[in-house]
Structure formats: C-alpha cells, structure tokens
Structure 1
Amino acid sequence: MTPSRRALLAALAALPMLGAARSSKGFVAVKNGRLSLDGRPYRFVGANLWYGAWLGASAAYGDRARLTRELDRLQALAVTNLRVLGAGERSPARAAVSPTFQERPGEYDTDLLKGLDVLLAEMAARNMKAVIYLNNFWDWSGGMPAYLRWVENGTWFQHGDADHPWPEYPDYAARFYGDAKANALFRRYVKSLVGRTNTVTGKPYRDDPTLMAWQLANEPRPGGSQIFGVFNMSIYQRWIANTSAFIKSLDPRHLVSTGSEGEMGCLNQERCVLDAHRPVSIDYVTAHIWPNNWSWIDAKNPAATYAAGEARCRDYVARHIAMARQLNKPLVIEEFGLARDARAFAPGSATADKDRFYQTIYDLTLADMKAGGPLAGTNFWAWNGEGRAQHPDAWFAPGDKAFVGDPPQEEQGLYGVFDSDASTLEVIRRHAAAVRAI
C-alpha cells in the first residue's frame, strides 16, 4: 500500500460515520400511523405562540427576558410543543404585523431571523418541539395576498374590506397557488429558511431535532365560494403536493404538514381534506376548531347556543379522527379557541365557557390517545402570557410590543390565555398531567 493511499484511508477513518452524523435521535417521526419520538409514542399538550421570534429579536420590539419568562411559564404547565410563525411579508393591511421577516421580495430581516434562532435555542433548553409555519392565508402577517401584490396579480385588498364582502377575500388569496411568480418568491424564502444555520447554537435547522415540522401555511384554503373553490381545487391540491415535496427535498428528516383547518377550510368537503393530506410528503393531518368564528356558538348569546355548538365540535373532532384513520396518519388539533365570557378582552374577566370548551377538546383528545388512536396532541390558541392590550379599545397599533396570542386582526385578549387566567391554566395543567400518565 502506498503512503498516499494509507494517508487517504486514515483520513477517511477519522471522519465521523455518516449514520452517526445523521442520527434520528430526538426527531419526531411517523410510525404505523402515529407520531413517534425515539421509539415511543409522541403525545403532547401544546400552544400557539406566533410572536416568539419577535420576542427573541435583538431589536426595539424584542424582549428576550420576557421570552424566557413565557417559556418558563409554559414549561411549568407541561406545554411541550409550540406552533410559531417563521415567515411574514410586508403588507399595507391596516391590521398587519410590522416589522416582519420579508420587508420586500428577497429582503430578509436579520433581527427577526436571529430572533427565531433564539426562540429555538431556548425551546431546546426546555425540551420543547416547534412547528414553524411558512406562509399565511390571512393578511395579518402579509401572507399569500402580499405575494400576489408583489407580482401584481389583481387588485390587492385587505381582509374585512367592506367593499369586498366575503367570500371575495378567500377567493382572492387562493389565487396564490396557481401564480408561478408568487411561488418563486415564496420558495426562495423557504429555501433560505430551511437551509439556515442557527446563529445561537451553530446547528443547521435541518439537523435540529427541536423542530418537529415545517408547515406550508396557516389555514390554506382552496377558496371561499363554491364556484371558485371547485375551479381552483386541483391547483390547490397540486400546490400542497409540490410544495411539501420541495420542502422534503431540502430537509428529508423533519415532518411536513399543511396547516389546514380541516373540512371548514376545505369547502366542507371530506374529499378535499383527504386529498390535501394524502401525499406521501404530508406526514400528518391537521384540524382547527373555531365555534365562534364558524357561528356554531354565538359569543353574544352562549346560553342559547353553547350546547348545540359543542355537539358540532364533538362531531368535527370525530370526523377528523376517522379521516386520519382512513389515511393511516396522525392527527393534531393545532388550533382551538373560544372567546372569553361576554366577549371580554381584559385579564380577570370570566372564562367559564372557554374553560368548558377547552375541557371538551381535551377530553376528546385524551380518550382517543388512551384508545391508541391517531390524535397525537393539541395546540390551544393562543398564549398571551404577560402580554396586555395597550389601548382602551384592545386593538393592536403599529409600534406595540406587548404581543399577545391574538394577532393584530383581532382584539388583543379575545381568544388568548393570560398568565393570570387561573381557571384556564388549571384545565391545561390537569390535561397535561393526564397525557403524561398514559
């Protein structure tokens, strides 16, 4: 053997083994139609914390000390999974987040990206998992309408514009799926983020087990009207399949999910939900439950509407469990929420109906978990923590930094859970203990 060959073999032997470098330890996976972590079922109690990266940013709007306090509070509740916003586009919408990740096409905010790095590092220190959504059907973070505006696809207008009554907004936003130019800009951002290396830990996102899943978007819908939605359905389904496959090509180790609400975001069609979650590049089924927004429970008259609305929620969960079983994929109820009593916003206001609703969702989840079903976890919407509305009318205003779980398109405190909501916190705490005991 020549000296040069010996030197080459010695150098190769000194390199870490590929299998060791690409260990699956700590990564959430799918096994036999259920979520799995290191060979055991992965079950969780989670929350939505869309603003986590904003708190983590080293900027005037950031507050890293608050971020650590909020994560400590959630950890004390045994919340182990957070769904967070990892994208956003500058939008002229009246109620939109600012600043955001992408101020102009291809111009990324380094402070916010580093804020996301900090969030993931702090979550890792607490053994939490993250689901990062990469787009938004709603314009409070820019989202799909912002991309359409950038490529001049139609006349932009904001959600809730009286001159464009429902369902004009969802029909407009859903044009995004078929716009090649808009998707080229979107994919450029996705490629940049998925390929990012965390500036705090030095770990590439692709190799970080703190991340449970990449998510295509928050609540993507094929449209709002039956006429447009049916016309756009094949384009919508193709976008889900192609985009999820694109993300898998960049990062095959992490799960990918749709962010879909389920039937209510799919023209009330079971087939739409099944087809959206059928691709092999989609790892689990998602569902959201919003009985106030869907007019199942009237926040102004809960006494007359709560019981019937709760029955519809129970049926909704049961139908999505059945669809997950049919697909042999896990299910996550990644958003659920109800307004505070009398549609109040302030900390200290009553939460009896909200607590009852949380308990209902948790009871259904726990029963399916105990039966070995596909339901793996829940993420309540959303964590307000110590955040408080900054104005008497409870609406968000540019420059506010006391972020809460309710995004700028809603009154601050409408659905979120404050750190002082003792009864709601106790419902969450009890459920987390019950999940751990399975």
Structure 2
Amino acid sequence: MRMPGSFFAGPVRLVLGCLLSLLPLAASAAGQSGFVQVEGTRFVLDGKPYRFAGANFWYGAYLGAPGDIGDRERLRAELDQLKAAGIDNLRVLAMSEASGFKRGVSPAIMAGPGQYDEQLLQGLDYLLAEMARRDMKAVLYLNNFWQWSGGMSQYVSWATGAPVLDPDAHGDWNGFMQNSARFYAIAEAQSWYRDAIRQVVGRTNSITGVAYADDPTVMSWQLANEPRPGSDRDGRANFEAYRAWIADTAGFIRRLAPKQLVSTGSEGEKGSLGDMALFLQAHDTPNVDYLTFHLWPSNWGWIDHGDPAARLDTGLATSLAYIDRHIEVAGKLGKPIVLSEFGLNRDRGSYDPASGVEARDRFYRAIYDRLLERAGAGKPIAGSNFWAWGGRGRTDNPDWMWQAGDPFTGDPPQEAQGLFSLFDSDASTLELVSAHARAIRALP
C-alpha cells in the first residue's frame, strides 16, 4: 500500500447476492480467457479491448493457505461476491518477508533468504485456481517498499546485519525510506530477491498442475508495491540505481514469463520524488509493458483524514488533475496505464464498518466518471483497482490494529483495520464499483 498519513466477526452479508444469478461463478463453457496483451496504449484479451474495474486483495494467498492460516470458505465466498459485482481483476501480494517490524504481517512467505513457507505458496496456488474457475485476472507483486510485509528494508537488514529502521517504532519516515532504497544497490539483496522471483514466477501450481508462467490467470507481475527512489528529501541520489533496477528486474521477469505482462507497481508522480519527469524516465524501457499510479488524497493532505467531507470538492479537483497528468504521460510513452490503488476514509474518519461512506461514495463516483470519460475518448487509461477489498474481515480490538491471528482486511497491519477497507456490507460503494465495471466493459 502506501505510507500512512495522520490517520465483529459475524456472518457475511452478501449485499450483492441478487447479482449472482446474472454472472457465472466459473469460466464460461467456452473455457477460460487467454493472456492479456498490450497493443499500443490498450490491453487486448482474446482479440478484444480489455478494460476493468478491479480491487486490491493483498491477503488473497493468506486466505487460500491450508490449515489454520487460511480460510478457504471465506475466500470462495468473497470471490463469488466480487465476480458477481463485475470485479474480476485482483491485485495480490505474492511475497512477504519475516521481519522485525512492529507492524509486519505474520507469518511471512519468506522466513529468510532462500527459505519459503510452502503452505503460503500453496495458498497462492489455491487463490489462482479459484480465480481461474471464475475467469478472473491477477496482478501479483513480488516485493514491497513499505514495512507491512517486510519488504526491501528487510532485505537490507539481512544483507547488512543491521536491525530494521522501524517507522512505526521511531516515526522516522525519511530515514526508513532512504534505508529501504538501499536495496536497489546491494548485490546480495538483489540475488536473494531474484531467487524469490524464481520461486514464484517459476512455480507450478500444486492444485492445477499449470506452471504459473503458462497460466493466463496471471495478467501481470509487478516488481514491488510502490517502489520509489527513496524519500522526497534525499532520494534523488538513489535515482539511477532505482532506474537501472526497474529495467533489469523487469527484463529478468520477462525472460521467465514471456506470455505475461510486467509492470512496476509505482504510485506515479508522488512515488517519483514528486517529479513527473523522473516517473517517465524510470518507465521508459521496453521491459515495462504498462504504467501504474496510485491516488491517496487524504494521505497527501488534499482531503482531511478526520473529516473527508470537509474539503472534498477541492481535494477531488486536485485528484482529477493528478489522474489527467498520468494519463497524458502514458500517452507520451505510448503505453496503457492503470490506476492500481485509490481510496478514501469513511465518514468522520471512522474505522467502524457500520459507519457511513457518503464522502467515499462521492469520491469513488468522481474517480470512476473521470476514468470512464477518458477511456471513452480513447485515452490510454485501461483499468483501476480500488484499495481495498476487506470482505467479511473484522476486528474487535479496541485500537482497531491488526494482531497476528486476526482476520485479514484490506488494511495491512500498519494501519487501522477499517481505514480504507471496502467491506462486504458496504452496499452503496459496491454498487458504484459494479456499475463502473459494466460501463467500462461496454466501451467499444
């Protein structure tokens, strides 16, 4: 996800259950669709334009794991609900690292360099198998700039022997980001990272028997979640190492999985030291098939965390201009672009799933309207993934923070559970996403 700003368990309520009869739960009788491809500034699937309204579902592999870690019944039910709503493109964490971070997810797929948790990898197998049954597409990211899944800073710690610099313990975000960016230039860390890539991209699904690299369920491999050169203050010195890392790693993945797409996972201008020229330079390589960007107006101070309705109109204007700038850059590079994260707090900054979402719904509607308008005009915007699907996950912890063993939500462990999650009970927001999915697919 992204750097945070200031910031019940019960039966599932399938609020869009009425749609289940309209959409199949498995792939059509004609079989699963093929590989998503790029033609110019658009995606193509089986010879037709491919546009989507998707979700972030970072914990999907965790739900798919066998034994006490996972919850396969929940996973199947929620995939059904998402498919029924027309949400069939999911962005998923495919590698996590055991770490010393206070708010790191546990367990992790990688216990240490070269050591992998087979149960969690089987969870990814199960997720992809169930997505294939429903003809859904996956975007799988293979690392994380941020601390909540271990990520780049944990590789740095393994390579240097120094403890992680934990921003949740010390509040030093500038130092954390600069330390995380050391990852790009440490040869040993890159060797371990490439081994992790091989473990996932080169894996054969234990359930379907299909090699991941031959599975059309996988639309794209992303280098990481929100890779950036470092902090806005000091990151420019790391830019050339960062740029080279993108081109080299993307090329490595392309060789392992030539049928599938490669993207970086970048959050765009905000993840490029606030410099759009650097975003363009970093992605000006044939090894990157399409661009990504993210939109976090309350984290960036454009909209209030505590009361998102207070400055919503001005924040929306700034957000829509941000979208337009990224679409323009994609056109200059001649590549498609995806808004692969966006979200907003619940009304009055509440974390309670029972609280209102009036401001959030206005935000979603405005974002979707702009994406649809630009796509309809032939611009290179190809899809979106809201952040994030929380499904039936709930917490009863008084501080709203995740603890090991709790159900997962769309909010990763370093954030309050309910901060940005779209829960299964959020009927109005789900209908907005569903309507947009229908509208964007109907474009010629």
TM-score normalized by the length of structure 1: 0.92
Q: 1:404 to 1:281 in 2, by over 3 A?
A: same
User: 1:366 and 1:259 mapped to 2: Cα distance?
Assistant: 22
* SS of structure 2 residue aligned to 1:313: helix
From 334, 344, 347, the counterpart of 1:341? 347
Q: Say yes or no: does 1:378 pair with 2:384.
A: yes
Q: 1:129 to 1:205 in 2, by over 3 A?
A: same
* SS of structure 2 residue aligned to 1:249: helix
Q: Say yes or no: does 1:120 pair with 2:125.
A: no
- 1:37-436 to 2 correspondence within 5 Å? 37-152=45-160, 154-162=162-170, 165-226=172-233, 228-400=234-406, 402-436=407-441
Deviation at 1:153, TM superposition (A): 6.2
* SS of structure 1 residue aligned to 2:409: coil
* Fraction of identical pairs, as percent: 52
Task: Give CA deviations for 1:391-429 in whole Å, capped at 9, x if unaligned.
Answer: 1221101222x1100000100011010111111112112
Q: 1:188 to 1:434 in 2, by over 3 A?
A: same
Task: Give CA deviations for 1:144-169 in whole Å, capped at 9, x if unaligned.
Answer: 0110111116552113333x523111
User: 1:337 and 1:302 mapped to 2: Cα distance?
Assistant: 11
User: 2:311 and 2:97 mapped to 1: Cα distance?
Assistant: 38
User: Is the contact between residue 63 and residue 71 of structure 2 (CA under 8 Å) also seen in structure 1?
Assistant: yes
Q: 1:303 to 1:68 in 2, by over 3 A?
A: closer
State the one-letter code of the partner of 1:434.
A
Task: Give CA deviations for 1:282-319 in whole Å, capped at 9, x if unaligned.
Answer: 00010000001111101224344222111110110000
State the one-letter code of the partner of 1:93.
F
Task: Give CA deviations for 1:353-387 in whole Å, capped at 9, x if unaligned.
Answer: 11111111101111111112111110000001111
User: Is the contact between residue 134 and residue 214 of structure 1 (CA under 8 Å) also seen in structure 2?
Assistant: yes
Task: Indicate the larger mover: 257-266 or 305-314.
Answer: 305-314
User: Is the contact between residue 308 and residue 345 of structure 2 (CA under 8 Å) also seen in structure 1?
Assistant: no
Task: Tell which has more relative contact order, 1 or 2 (C-alpha 8 A, sep 6+).
Answer: 2
Deviation at 1:276, TM superposition (A): 1.8
User: 1:301 and 1:98 mapped to 2: Cα distance?
Assistant: 32
State the one-letter code of the partner of 1:183.
Q
User: 1:80 and 1:287 mapped to 2: Cα distance?
Assistant: 19
* SS of structure 1 residue aligned to 2:236: helix
User: 1:75 and 1:329 mapped to 2: Cα distance?
Assistant: 27
State the one-letter code of the partner of 2:90.
L
Deviation at 1:206, TM superposition (A): 0.6
User: 1:186 and 1:302 mapped to 2: Cα distance?
Assistant: 39
User: 1:203 and 1:325 mapped to 2: Cα distance?
Assistant: 35
State the one-letter code of the partner of 1:143.
G
Matched pairs, number: 412
Task: Give CA deviations for 1:140-197 in whole Å, capped at 9, x if unaligned.
Answer: 00000110111116552113333x5231111111111111111110001101211100
User: 1:436 and 1:254 mapped to 2: Cα distance?
Assistant: 21
State the one-letter code of the partner of 1:185.
W
* SS of structure 2 residue aligned to 1:35: strand
User: 2:103 and 2:395 mapped to 1: Cα distance?
Assistant: 14
User: 1:314 and 1:189 mapped to 2: Cα distance?
Assistant: 37
Q: 1:352 to 1:25 in 2, by over 3 A?
A: closer
- Structure number with greater Rg is 1
State the one-letter code of the partner of 1:231.
A
* SS of structure 2 residue aligned to 1:90: coil
State the one-letter code of the partner of 1:393.
D
Deviation at 1:122, TM superposition (A): 0.3
Structure 1: which 5+ residue stretches go unaligned? 1-23
User: 1:87 and 1:404 mapped to 2: Cα distance?
Assistant: 18
TM-score normalized by the length of structure 2: 0.91
State the one-letter code of the partner of 1:149.
S
User: 1:232 and 1:86 mapped to 2: Cα distance?
Assistant: 26
Large movers: runs of 4+ above 4 Å: none
User: Is the contact between residue 390 and residue 396 of structure 1 (CA under 8 Å) also seen in structure 2?
Assistant: no
